[in-house]
Amino acid sequence: MESFHYRDSRLYCEDVSVADLAARFGTPLYVYSEASILGTLESLQSAFVELDPLICYSVKANSNLGILKLMARHGSGFDVVSQGELYRVGLAGGEGSKTVFAGVGKTDEEIAAGLDAGVLMFNVESEAEMEAIARVAASRGRVAPIALRVNPDVDPKTHRYISTGKKQSKFGMDIERALRAGQAAAGMASLEMIGIHMHIGSQITTVEPYAGAVAKGVEVIRRLREMGHPIAWYNMGGGYGIAYKGKEARPVAEFASAIVPGVKAAGCRLAIEPGRVIAGNAGILVGRVVYTKQSGDKRFLIQDAAMNDLIRPALYESFHRIWPVDVPAGLPAPPEDYESEIAGTEPWDVVGPVCESGDFLAKDRSLPPLDRGDLIAVFSAGAYGMVMASNYNTRPRAAEVLVAGGEARLVRRRETYEDLVRQEVGI
């Protein structure tokens, strides 16, 4: 969270006051830090340096063109899961040859778009999809580069909604099936199997699942090579967990040390698809208190950032640190540790204006006294925040601002009511 810090009890993003941004651009407002994004990109590059990694930023985490452009300018590749994401990467100046195309349901049209964009490889999720890729490539006189997505059946020990590497998950192929697909692919002239792909889950906070998965992957590579496939890439996916609360995250270097030896021994180039670790702590969501309200012994802080802006607490009961943008005199910066009592605070349910009991950002959260007009910051909101936003309750989606040093740039304007009805026809 260093790019977001308190100076004289006011929250700053790099050198820009967050209260000033809220005054200029309104609330709810997403604020992102370029320095944080680039700092993480660099730390990933250096953690995996031994393998000269291709970092394919996972566009789904935060697909704002301002961020994609920044990543492309700094040499990043991309992981896309739809033609829409591929379109964004093209607009941002991303290179096809550094883009991997994943997703369990690629249509023929999407496969063709991937071929036209010259993607580095398609991550293949099923035998049926492999056949579709072979057919579309053949019909265009092309050879499609593919990587089999192998499901290693390891438990990443994360929330069940974001766990993908277990046998029961819809993603990838179990090892036996992958080997059968390898056999089938050997007879398909319009495919070239150049890699394997794994992604075992998201918000993973221990390194053992990676080590276990890589050990299985190395064996799969050996078998696929025996079949004659020129496996040159090991795509290890993303999933590196971040600190939402306190110290739950592991440094990326620790993940690297679980992954590098196996991939190195297999003689492969490494691709990784980090999303959350790059964007998550590079962004906050700013809300303004509309009302405070007491009901029984519960205190509600009703502010203008709602579940339609940030759905993670409602969907996964996920924890986001929340603290006032202007800290009242005598109170500290946001606590590092929510286990112990925080002096000068009282428990609040932080809720939005949407008509659902699930519309909350935090429950029983210790916060200093707050009142109408005060601003709050919801931290770690840069990944899976704006990308999962909706117009529920006909609420315009928030604006987004990208900060670099002392400069703030609007990278998405706030939606208007006209924007919200624009697609509706035949009325």
Binding-site string for ligand LLP from residue 303 to residue 322, where x marks contact by CB under 6 A and - marks none? ---------x---x------
* Residue 49 burial (10 A CB sphere; 0-12, 13-18, 19+): exposed
Of 90, 114, 237, 368, the one binding ligand LLP (CB under 6 A) is: 237
Site for ligand LLP in 321-380 (CB under 6 A): none
273 binds ligand LLP (CB under 6 A): yes
Q: What is the distance between the alpha carbons of residues 112 and 286, in angstroms, rounded to a whole number?
A: 40
> What is the widest separation between alpha-carbon atoms in the chain?
72
CB of 187 to ligand LLP, least distance (A): 27
Of 14, 384, 386, 398, the one binding ligand LLP (CB under 6 A) is: 384
CB atoms within 10 A of CB 226: 10
Applying CB under 6 A, the site for ligand LLP has a residue count of 21
| Residue 239 assigned ligand-binding role | yes
- The single-letter code of the amino acid at 382 is G
61 binds ligand LLP (CB under 6 A): yes
Strands (E), 315-379: 322-324, 346-351, 360-367, 375-378
Q: Which of 386, 277, 380, 278 is nearest to 323 (CA)?
A: 380
| Residue 392 assigned ligand-binding role | no
Residue 83 vs 202, nearer CB to ligand LLP: 202
- Provide the 3-class DSSP secondary structure of residue 297: coil
| Residue 114 assigned ligand-binding role | no
Which residue's CB comes closest to ligand LLP? 238
* Token output for 422: 């624009």
Secondary structure percentages of the chain, helix, strand, coil, to 5: 35, 25, 40
CB of 223 to ligand LLP, least distance (A): 22
| Residue 223 assigned ligand-binding role | no
Any bridge partners for residue 287, and if so which? 376
Cα dihedral 31, 306, 247, 161, rounded to 10, equals: -120
| Residue 415 assigned ligand-binding role | no
Residue 387 vs 410, nearer CB to ligand LLP: 387
CB of 339 to ligand LLP, least distance (A): 23
| Residue 396 assigned ligand-binding role | no
* Token output for 394: 């006909």
79 binds ligand LLP (CB under 6 A): yes
13 is catalytic: no
* Token output for 100: 């991997």
Burial of 239-257, coded b for 16+ CB within 10 Å and e otherwise, reads bbbbbbbeeebbebeebbe
276 binds ligand LLP (CB under 6 A): yes
Annotated binding site for pyridoxal 5'-phosphate: 239, 273-276, 384
Annotated binding site: 239, 273-276, 312, 316, 356, 384
**Chain positions contacting ligand LLP, by CB under 6 A:** 58, 61, 79, 102, 162, 199, 202-203, 237-240, 273-277, 312, 316, 383-384
